[in-house]
Structure 1
Amino acid sequence: MASSFSSSSLLLPFFLIIFSCFIALSSSRRSLINHPSTNLPRSGFRLTLKHVDSGKNLTKIQKIQRGISRGSHRLNRLGAAAVLAVASGPDDTNNIKAPTHGGSGEFLMDLAIGNPPVKYSAIVDTGSDLIWTQCKPCTECFDQPTPIFDPKTSSSYSKVGCSSGLCDALSRSSCNKDKGACEYVYTYGDYSSTKGILAMETFTFDDENSVSGIGFGCGDENKGDGFSQGSGLVGLGRGPLSLISQLKETKFSYCLTSIEDSEASSSLFIGSLASNIVKKAGASLAGEVTKTMSLLRNPNQPSFYYLDLQGITVGSKRLPIEKSTFELAEDGTGGMIIDSGTTITYLEEDAFKALSKEFTSRMSLPVDDSGSTGLDLCFTLPSNAKKIAVPKLVFHFKDADLELPGENYMVADSSTGVLCLAMGSSNGMSIFGNVQQQNFNVVHDLEKDTVSFVPTECGKL
């Protein structure tokens, strides 16, 4: 059954308790961190992102279901971990602060490590900082699609000393005197973890751009099934251990193609290319306007990028949501993060109930209560449906209103004859997921503390 739907006038085709966070470093401590030497192009560089389910014979809703399943543990523990991080107290040096780290991302990037370079694929995660891969000799390692890195074969490998600023950036680290190196433990919200030696290596991107002296985790004890789709992880968070920070770049962006397009590749841009690529490639959408909004910082969850969401409109009605619903509280709880590694958007429970109620009242279709899709709100499609009108959906951020294209929040399943809202409810923390971000070039400016949504045909970049 082929169906399509329209939003307004637009017709549309159908981590746990976490150790090893960084604590905000003072300028004197920050000066201890070794910055890598680089021969990257001045304008930055581009990396291809591959969805973990690309190439598989799956429908859009099946991919969404698999993404929800992968992220379920992390979602359930986000709020709880934030509360426990606060419970230790901002000035309590006897307790380990435990901000949540994402992990279990949805996109992979190819890179190479060492000299000579050894290729591997890594999960891209905007919700954490550490770069790591599995290393020999492995005491406990999960199966990965590429050979495990052997540091003995690389002439550019070196261990990070215990007095290094990179070691100091980890809240849970220790000095292994026998190995003369900094040992780390990094645990994610889905029970997965990595433990090993903090080291420095040469990383090669796109087979031609090499950077020496990047700090990374060489993990020899790695547990859980959250990373089996890759051979490690590249953190793009806000801390000093992330790839962005170590490259001393202030901008990066990603442009995600539609989740149902199994052939098109998404892209990650590092450096000034992040904000200039759309015009150069001629992939901007006619008549669409870039929306830029401020990012918030949370000392208790320093890796995350927080948005200042102030309200939501469905159709022509602004939802009756309490102002405090999406606020980032003084104790570090609540708020909304933007996350490329979470599939759908999750709203605090009361807000989602209000959204569902208004959506239902504006749809001309009966509600489907079968629960067959795993999504919270679905409607039954008529067998002869070709075009379905759906209410417009606008997110009101502090500095900009972002109206989403219909395909970024509605998904049809022809096999079961339902049309579903690609959003769900959460407790404590809200998340702006990657389905809602598709076909935008999402530009993070770390110097200005802003994020911009540039409407883009990402498959044309």
Structure 2
Amino acid sequence: MARKAPSPFPSINIFIILFFFFSFTLSPFSPQVVSASVFKRLRLLSTEETQPTSTSSVLSLSLHPHSSVIKPPYDSYSDLVLSRLASDRARAEVINSNIERALSAFNRPHGIKPDVQVQPEDLEAPLTPSGGAYAARVGVGQPVKEYYLIADTGSQINWLQCLPCDPCFNQSDPIFDPSGSSSYSPLSCTSQQCTALSPDYKCGQNNTCIYRALYGDNSVSIGEFATETVSFGSSGSVQKVAIGCGLENQGRFGKAAGILGLGGTAVGFPSQIQAKSFSYCLVDLDSSSSSTLEFNSVPPGDSILVPLIMNPKSEIYYYVELTGITINGEQVPIPASDYQIGEDGRGGIIVDSGTTITALPAQVYNSVRDTFVKYAKNLPPAAGIGDLDTCYDLSSTPTRDGFPMMSFQFSGGKTLPLKPQNYLFRADSDGTFCLAFKTTSQSVSIIGNTQQQGFRVTYDLANKMFGFSPNKC
């Protein structure tokens, strides 16, 4: 029976956040240190009374650039770009920090404490409220209420803000009221969905599971973990999906109501609805158009199929083997050590929906940049901005005049041609565009959403394949 979720905590301030940190890490219900189970894929829930209703039909959500949901409050487009770049830097640091903690927990002998301790700011990837992400329109509850949730392949916990939240952040939709939904059901502390959150949960009053989602930008959501009916527009619904009901929330969520975590763990949304695949087609970040986020759809027939690799020591992220980048027929080789996951679980390249600019090791980026500059002599140069050091003034450049041809090369000899809008990124409102690549000193490289725009990108989880299909979205 639906009921109003009790608020388990007082208003958040710095002392409360510290209290949460120590109380969670010292709780008998969660270890003092990160458990390998946080990052390791757990088996699909099969015996739990609250198991999601299985479905193999195609389910579809509308997918919108975050900046079309809420216009970011910046004085100039250049400021917006700088904010996106800053979010990318923070996101890369947290992704790598998550992997390092996973490796520390995974590799240590049984009974030996790892060196890496849980830090509140490291538990999830940072958000991108600056408009560098995409938001899905998701139906929640019975009767159905629709909300914008940030679709994030770098997060695993699904949650939305709930009444009676205190404090609450601003969102574009009315806040979800669990007492008004007949399908809302709190999870117990011993449920498989709750324990799969370890160490990101605590046992609250009446044996109720309390989740926490703390992000690299100091945003936070803490509340009741429950099951609820999730609806996909006119394409159907799935019952008993584990989702957080955020009662203590603060931070910058860009007026979205919460997070749709697409990461590859048992509490991630694809596993929760038992989807065999998911796919999206990304429109331009600054577009007012929308596309779709689909589950259980097959890759289009013209898809370029390449292996989807799961890191056995850190399975929240989706890896691909990028072996080279070709510019006007000249191949820029990428050393195997830069595109393969090492035996220690480090390295490799992930595909990420929440990162804007592709990040490569310095030696690879320098080769890409220098080769590109060699073939882009007809493009008038412009000053760089932030992390983007190779820019051009295209305010008066005719369409397709002087643009090099670029493509990605993947393991198995597969080639993905890129259009100029996939390798040049708008940097201001005056016609300056920059090469949409940058250097990273982190272990893991990232293919950002600029290179994914205009493609139907399929994550075929059943067959462990990526599909890239040219699409007008």
- TM-score, L = length of structure 1: 0.82
Take 1:33 and 1:309, find their aligned partners in 2: how far apart are those partners?
42
Partner of residue 224 from structure 1, selected from 251, 260, 270:
251
Partner of residue 458 from structure 2, selected from 426, 436, 443:
443
Take 2:431 and 2:123, find their aligned partners in 1: how far apart are those partners?
38
Task: For 1:91-170, list aligned pairs within 5 A.
Answer: 91=108, 94=113, 101-104=124-127, 106-170=133-197
Per mean C-alpha deviation after superposition, the further-off stretch among 430-439 and 29-38 is: 29-38
1:211 aligns with 2:238: yes
The answer to whether the 8 Å contact 2:65/2:284 transfers is no
The answer to whether the 8 Å contact 2:186/2:209 transfers is yes
133 and 27 in structure 1: CA distance in 2 versus 1, 3 angstrom threshold: closer
Take 1:24 and 1:166, find their aligned partners in 2: how far apart are those partners?
14
Q: 1:234 matched to which residue of 2?
A: 260
28 and 377 in structure 1: CA distance in 2 versus 1, 3 angstrom threshold: closer
Task: For 1:310-389, list aligned pairs within 5 A.
Answer: 310-365=323-378, 368=381, 370-372=383-385, 375-380=388-393, 387-389=400-402
Task: For 1:244-323, list aligned pairs within 5 A.
Answer: 244-260=270-286, 262-271=287-296, 273-275=297-299, 289-323=302-336
Shift of 1:255: 1.1
Shift of 1:423: 1.7
221 and 366 in structure 1: CA distance in 2 versus 1, 3 angstrom threshold: same
Q: 1:13 matched to which residue of 2?
A: none
Shift of 1:179: 2.9
Shift of 1:312: 2.1
237 and 291 in structure 1: CA distance in 2 versus 1, 3 angstrom threshold: same
Shift of 1:25: 5.4
Q: 1:37 matched to which residue of 2?
A: 53
Take 1:425 and 1:29, find their aligned partners in 2: how far apart are those partners?
40
1:51 aligns with 2:54: no
Take 1:246 and 1:414, find their aligned partners in 2: how far apart are those partners?
40
Shift of 1:189: 3.2
Take 2:137 and 2:146, find their aligned partners in 1: how far apart are those partners?
7
Can you list the C-alpha shifts for 1:220-275, whole angstroms capped at 9, x where unaligned? Answer: 222332x2330011111211112211211201111112335x2421211111x343
Take 2:273 and 2:198, find their aligned partners in 1: how far apart are those partners?
22
The answer to whether the 8 Å contact 2:43/2:266 transfers is no
The answer to whether the 8 Å contact 1:310/1:326 transfers is yes
Take 2:399 and 2:138, find their aligned partners in 1: how far apart are those partners?
43
Determine what percentage of the aligned residue pairs are the same residue.
32
Matched residue of 2:107: which SS? coil
306 and 392 in structure 1: CA distance in 2 versus 1, 3 angstrom threshold: same
Can you list the C-alpha shifts for 1:38-72, whole angstroms capped at 9, x where unaligned? Answer: 6x6x5312211110112759999887555334433
398 and 387 in structure 1: CA distance in 2 versus 1, 3 angstrom threshold: closer
Partner of residue 228 from structure 2, selected from 201, 207, 212:
201
The answer to whether the 8 Å contact 2:228/2:240 transfers is yes
Take 1:149 and 1:206, find their aligned partners in 2: how far apart are those partners?
17
Take 1:170 and 1:316, find their aligned partners in 2: how far apart are those partners?
47
Take 1:245 and 1:413, find their aligned partners in 2: how far apart are those partners?
37
434 and 366 in structure 1: CA distance in 2 versus 1, 3 angstrom threshold: closer
Code of the aligned partner of 2:457: V
149 and 174 in structure 1: CA distance in 2 versus 1, 3 angstrom threshold: same
Q: How many residues align?
A: 427
Take 1:290 and 1:174, find their aligned partners in 2: how far apart are those partners?
40
Can you list the C-alpha shifts for 1:59-114, whole angstroms capped at 9, x where unaligned? Answer: 99887555334433212333344334323453456557888633525111122222
Shift of 1:127: 1.5
Shift of 1:320: 4.7
Take 1:454 and 1:414, find their aligned partners in 2: how far apart are those partners?
29
Q: 2:4 matched to which residue of 1?
A: none
Larger RCO (CA within 8 A; separation ≥ 6): 1
188 and 354 in structure 1: CA distance in 2 versus 1, 3 angstrom threshold: same
Partner of residue 96 from structure 2, selected from 76, 79, 88:
79
Take 1:172 and 1:318, find their aligned partners in 2: how far apart are those partners?
45
Take 1:294 and 1:387, find their aligned partners in 2: how far apart are those partners?
32
Take 1:256 and 1:26, find their aligned partners in 2: how far apart are those partners?
29
80 and 169 in structure 1: CA distance in 2 versus 1, 3 angstrom threshold: closer
Can you list the C-alpha shifts for 1:323-380, whole angstroms capped at 9, x where unaligned? Answer: 2122212222221110112112111222111111111222215774633475221134
Unaligned runs of 5+ in 1: 1-15, 280-288
Shift of 1:144: 1.7
The answer to whether the 8 Å contact 1:404/1:436 transfers is yes
194 and 331 in structure 1: CA distance in 2 versus 1, 3 angstrom threshold: farther
Take 2:214 and 2:202, find their aligned partners in 1: how far apart are those partners?
18
Code of the aligned partner of 1:269: E
Per mean C-alpha deviation after superposition, the further-off stretch among 121-130 and 151-160 is: 151-160
The answer to whether the 8 Å contact 1:36/1:211 transfers is yes
The answer to whether the 8 Å contact 1:35/1:247 transfers is no
Code of the aligned partner of 1:452: G
Q: 1:172 matched to which residue of 2?
A: 199
Take 1:375 and 1:211, find their aligned partners in 2: how far apart are those partners?
43
Partner of residue 426 from structure 1, selected from 440, 444, 454:
440
Can you list the C-alpha shifts for 1:387-439, whole angstroms capped at 9, x where unaligned? Answer: 53232222221122222122211246685454421222212221111111111
Take 1:434 and 1:161, find their aligned partners in 2: how far apart are those partners?
37
Code of the aligned partner of 2:420: G
Q: 1:10 matched to which residue of 2?
A: none
238 and 320 in structure 1: CA distance in 2 versus 1, 3 angstrom threshold: closer
Code of the aligned partner of 1:176: C
Take 2:229 and 2:191, find their aligned partners in 1: how far apart are those partners?
18
Can you list the C-alpha shifts for 1:132-159, whole angstroms capped at 9, x where unaligned? Answer: 0112232333222222222222222111
The answer to whether the 8 Å contact 2:307/2:320 transfers is yes
The answer to whether the 8 Å contact 1:36/1:212 transfers is yes
